[in-house]
């Protein structure tokens, strides 16, 4: 809310007019905020230092490195790693910017930047031995370099 006292040429509003004016400004701001929140592509802002807990795939999406100053998470084998310390790699424009905000296990195992349509990111049952070994190496890499902040959960049951 903005209250400007620079225009002193007119009469000073009485308390009722001032409250009415402030309420109208607040309602306008709320309506604009609600409209923005329902616009295509809108998502809630991710926060830096997000709490350590388990996340659904939907919740994990907000930590995809696209919001400046927000936490960046990559999940591997359902372990969620905080890679916020390396926005140069995992943030927008980084070499690995396609990994954050999702469980990247399948991408890493198959060494590809994008899943095929209909491909389940959590289904690792069809990986070859070589792909499984590659995934294990990636998981060890992330575990050595980054902190685990939670686990990927399959449904909203158990999410906080």
Contact (Cβ atoms closer than 8 angstroms) between residue 20 and residue 48: no
Q: What is the pLDDT of residue 52?
A: 86
pLDDT tens for the chain, residues 1 to 160: 444 444 444 555 555 555 555 455 555 544 444 454 455 554 444 455 677 899 999 999 999 999 888 899 999 999 999 999 999 999 999 999 999 999 999 999 999 999 999 899 899 999 999 999 999 999 999 999 999 999 999 864 444 4
3-state secondary structure 91-151: CCCCCCCCCCCCECHHHHHHCCCCCCCCCCCCCCCCCCHHHHHHHHHHHHHHHHHCEEEEE
Phi-psi region of 101 (alpha: psi -120 to 50; beta: other; left: phi over 0): left
* Residues 156, 160: Cα–Cα separation, whole Å: 8
pTM for the predicted model, two decimal places: 0.67
Measured in whole angstroms, how far is the alpha carbon of residue 101 from the centre of its chain?
6
Q: What is the pLDDT of residue 40?
A: 55
Contact (Cβ atoms closer than 8 angstroms) between residue 71 and residue 79: no
Question: Which is it for strands 79-82 and 73-76: parallel, antiparallel or unpaired?
Answer: antiparallel
Query: Given the structure tokens 């095929």, which residue do they identify?
Result: 116
* Residues 143, 81: Cα–Cα separation, whole Å: 8
Q: What is the pLDDT of residue 59?
A: 92
Q: What is the pLDDT of residue 33?
A: 44
């Amino acid at each position: 809310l903005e209250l400007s006292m620079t225009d002193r040429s007119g009469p000073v509003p009485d308390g009722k007019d001032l409250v009415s004016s402030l309420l109208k400004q607040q309602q306008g701001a709320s309506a604009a905020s609600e409209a923005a929140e329902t616009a295509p592509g809108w998502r809630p802002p991710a926060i830096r230092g997000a709490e350590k807990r388990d996340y659904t795939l939907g919740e994990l999406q907000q930590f995809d490195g696209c919001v400046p100053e927000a936490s960046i998470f990559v999940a591997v084998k359902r372990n969620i790693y905080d890679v916020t310390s390396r926005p140069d790699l995992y943030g927008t424009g980084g070499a690995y910017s396609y990994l954050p905000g999702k469980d990247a296990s399948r991408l890493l195992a198959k060494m590809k930047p994008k899943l095929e349509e209909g491909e389940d990111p959590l289904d690792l049952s069809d990986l070859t031995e070589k792909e499984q070994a590659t995934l294990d190496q990636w998981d060890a890499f992330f575990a050595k370099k980054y902190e685990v902040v939670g686990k990927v959960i399959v449904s909203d049951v158990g999410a906080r």
